[in-house]
Amino acid sequence: MAFQPIVDFEAGKLFAYEALVRGVNGESAFSVLSQANDENRYALDQQCRVKAIELGASLSLPDTGAYLSINFYPNAVYEPAACLRKTLETASRVGFPLDRLIFEVTEGEKVRDHEHLNHILREYRAQGFKTAIDDFGAGYAGLNLLAKFQPDILKIDAELTREIDKRPVSQTIVRAIQQVSEALNIQTIAEGIETPAELSALRDLGLRYFQGYHFARPGFESLPSCSDSGIA
Site residues for ligand G per CB under 6 A: 4, 20, 28-29, 71, 106, 134-135, 191-194, 211-213, 218
Amino acid occupying residue 223: L
In degrees and rounded to multiples of 5, residue 20 shows phi and psi of -125, 125
Contact between 87 and Mn ion (CB under 5 A)? no
Nearer CB in complex with ligand G: 87/107: 107
Residue nearest to ligand G (CB): 212
Shortest gap between Cβ of 98 and ligand G (angstroms)? 22
Nearer CB in complex with Mn ion: 32/197: 32
Figure out which of the listed residues 8, 45, 107, 134 binds Mn ion, where binding follows CB under 5 A.
Answer: 134
Shortest gap between Cβ of 106 and Mn ion (angstroms)? 6
Figure out which of the listed residues 15, 90, 101, 104 binds Mn ion, where binding follows CB under 5 A.
Answer: 104
Interior CA angle at 229 toward 225 and 232, to 5°? 55
Q: What, of ligand G, Mn ion, none, does residue 191 touch, CB below 5 to 8 Å by kind? A: ligand G
Nearer CB in complex with Mn ion: 20/201: 20
Distance CA(183)–CA(115), nearest Å, equals 24
Shortest gap between Cβ of 108 and ligand G (angstroms)? 6
Contact between 71 and Mn ion (CB under 5 A)? yes
Distance CA(211)–CA(218), nearest Å, equals 10
Nearer CB in complex with ligand G: 96/136: 136
**How would you label 66-86 residue by residue, b for 16+ Cβ within 10 Å and e otherwise?**
bbbbbbbbbbbbeebeebbee
Given the rule CB under 5 A, which of 46-54, 101-109, 118-126, 139-147 is the region that contacts Mn ion? 101-109
Alpha helices (H) in 77-113, listed in sequence order: 80-94
In degrees and rounded to multiples of 5, residue 163 shows phi and psi of 50, 35
Distance CA(67)–CA(87), nearest Å, equals 15
In degrees and rounded to multiples of 5, residue 44 shows phi and psi of -65, -45
Give contact residues for Mn ion (rule: CB under 5 A): 71, 104, 134
